[in-house]
Amino acid sequence: MESQRLAQLALCKLQILQLLRRLAAQQLEVITGGDMSNLLKLLAAKQSVMDQLTKVEQQLDPFRGQDPETRDWHSTVERESCQRNVEACNELLSEIMRLEKQGEMEMVRRRDDASVRLDGMHGASEARHAYVAAAAATGLDLSTEG
């Protein structure tokens, strides 16, 4: 029956999104800690979960255009359970998007901090080269010969 298939897919999507939320939270922790090697591993795992989500979404496509009121359910309980799962999916998606946005903002902050530090290092290097050049131009030889 179609409604049972829809209920199975909604539950599967919910489980995938729960895993994706955990991964997004871990990703934010890893970014905040500056652990880029673990970030790459986590992103690879997350991509696999995203691929699973894409497959489920494709299987849900035929149900999108249907009027929910016309679906034939075995029971009201089954229909309400499916509806709760769909609502939970929507809430999880919002939370995942929030976590992703936080991670993005933290990465931008870290990039900007690194840029400022690099600019400071570049300035210090230029100053050192200027002092060396000035000392060489004066021709002052402070070495001792035996």
Tens of pLDDT, residues 18-73: 999 999 999 999 999 988 889 999 999 999 999 999 999 999 999 998 888 889 99
- CA–CA separation, 11 vs 5, rounded Å? 10
pLDDT reported for residue 9: 98
pLDDT reported for residue 8: 97
pLDDT reported for residue 1: 74
Domain boundaries, the chain: 2-64+72-106
Give the per-residue SS3 of 57-83: HHHHHHHHCCCHHHCCCCCHHHHHHHH
Overall average pLDDT of the 8-15 stretch:
98
Model-level pTM?
0.76
CA atoms within 13 A on the CB side of 138: 8
Taking only the tens place, the pLDDT of each residue in 83-116 is: 999 999 999 999 999 999 999 999 899 888 878 7
DSSP state for residue 65 in the 8-state scheme: T
pLDDT reported for residue 128: 66
